[in-house]
């Protein structure tokens, strides 16, 4: 069994933020934090890149609307044109209504599937679940993970640093 990283447990979000900042100042980069709700300060500290998912949502919306509009256009102009009293076949205002709904549908699917894909979910197992102390909910605790793959990682040193930054417990996590 190889080592995946060190999991430090903190009692409240402020302590987690402090520790994450401290570890980053010490040069650690391969870190992750786990919390029962979003802790906004972590985004800056962990340098989480701004997500490009909004573009995926936009693309999904445009694709949904365009595809459905094209389908309607094809059905009235190409596949089954019916001349009713000389009215235009391509009567766009009513088509916009359905295209709008399809656009919303496409955007919502793009967002939902996109966020799961970007987060690598669904995922059957992840090394952090090997940690004894890691229970997402039971304690309402806040966790900081330093990966063993981090270039700054030194077995005893990192553990001591985490403890000095206020970790309640520090645990080695198997990969």
Partner 1 sequence: MAEASANSPAVLRGRHDSREISGRIGSIVLNGRLPRHFWAAFFLCFLLVLLLLYSITYLIAVGVGAYGINMPVVWGTMISNFVWWIGIGHAGTLISAVLLLLRQPWRASINRFAEAMTLFAVAMAGLFPILHLGRPWFFYWLLPLPNVHMHWPQWRSPLVWDFAAIATYATVSLLFWYMGLLPDLAVLRDRASSKPAQLFYGILALGWRGSAYHWARYQVVYFLLAALATPLVVSVHSIVSLDFTFAITPGYHSTIFPPYFVAGALLSGFAMVLTIAIPLRWAFSVEDLITLRHMDNAAKLMIAAGMVVAYGYVSEAFFAWYSGKPYERAMMAQRALGPYATLFWTMIGLNCGVLQLLWFRRVRRNMPLLFAIAIAINIGMWIERYIIVVTGPSRDYLPSSWGEQSLTWLDFGILFGSIGTFFALVFLFIRILPAITIFEVEELAEEEGKLK
Task: State the residues that interact with partner 1 by CB under 8 A.
Answer: 12-13, 32-39, 42-43, 46, 48, 51, 53-54, 57, 61, 71-72, 75-76, 79-80, 91, 94-95, 97-98, 100-102, 104-105, 107-109, 111-112, 114-116, 118-119, 121-126, 128-129, 135-140
The residues, ordered by sequence, that sit 6+ positions from 90 with a Cβ below 8 Å of its Cβ are 73, 76, 77
In sequence order, the β-bridge partners of residue 173 are 5
CB of 156 to partner 1, least distance (A): 26
Q: Classify strands 31-34 and 169-174 as parallel, antiparallel or unpaired.
A: unpaired
Please state, in angstroms and rounded to a whole number, the distance separating the CA atoms of residues 43 and 121.
20
Q: How far is the CB of 2 from partner 1 (least distance, A)?
A: 20
Length of the chain in residues, anyone?
A: 175
Q: Taking the CA atoms of 151, 155, 160 and 162 in sequence, report the sign of the dihedral they define.
A: positive
Beta bridge partners of 145: 7, 32
Q: Which is closer to partner 1, CB of 35 or CB of 169? A: 35
Using the minimum distance from each CB to partner 1, give the nearer residue, 49 or 156.
49
Nearer to partner 1, 109 or 153 (CB): 109
Cβ proximity to partner 1, 79 vs 156, nearer residue: 79
């Amino acid at each position: 069994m190889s080592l995946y990283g060190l999991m430090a447990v903190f009692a409240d979000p402020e302590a987690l933020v402090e520790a994450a900042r401290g570890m980053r100042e010490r040069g650690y980069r391969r870190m992750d934090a786990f919390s029962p709700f979003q802790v906004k300060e972590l985004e800056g500290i962990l340098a989480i890149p701004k997500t490009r998912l909004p573009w995926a949502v936009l693309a999904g919306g445009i694709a949904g609307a365009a595809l459905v509009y094209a389908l309607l256009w094809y059905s009235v102009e190409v596949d089954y044109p019916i001349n009713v009293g000389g009215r235009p076949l391509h009567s766009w205002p009513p088509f916009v209504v359905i295209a709008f709904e399809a656009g919303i549908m496409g955007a919502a699917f793009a967002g939902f599937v996109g966020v799961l894909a970007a987060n690598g979910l669904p995922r059957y197992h992840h090394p952090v679940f090997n940690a004894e102390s890691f229970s997402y909910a039971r304690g309402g605790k806040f966790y900081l993970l330093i990966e063993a793959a981090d270039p700054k990682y030194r077995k005893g040193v990192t553990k001591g640093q985490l403890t000095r930054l206020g970790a309640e417990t520090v645990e080695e996590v198997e990969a």
